[in-house]
Amino acid sequence: MIPHSKADAVLEYDERCYSGQFSDDGNFFFSCCQDFKVRMYDTSNPYDWKYYKVSLVYVISDAIY
């Protein structure tokens, strides 16, 4: 994510997304939405993100640890 550059990919959700974070090694991206789902994407290839997993959680820290 470089300021003032065009996006290579855009994630779209039915609910508002309020948080997103890459793993320490950059191989995964987590997003949290108002539908109480945490979605995880395999980002090991930055040009081809793969949907990996979804989890229903109510506490954000559960998805990160």
What are the CB-based long-range contacts (under 8 Å, 24+) for 53-57?
Answer: none
pLDDT for the residue 24? 93
Question: What is the per-residue pLDDT across 45-62, written as a single tens digit (0 to 9) for each?
Answer: 988 889 888 887 655 554
Identify the H or E element spanning 64. helix 60-64
pLDDT for the residue 65? 46
Say if residue 11's pLDDT is above 60.
Answer: yes
Give the global pTM: 0.68
Question: What is the per-residue pLDDT across 13-36, written as a single tens digit (0 to 9) for each?
Answer: 888 888 889 999 999 999 888 888
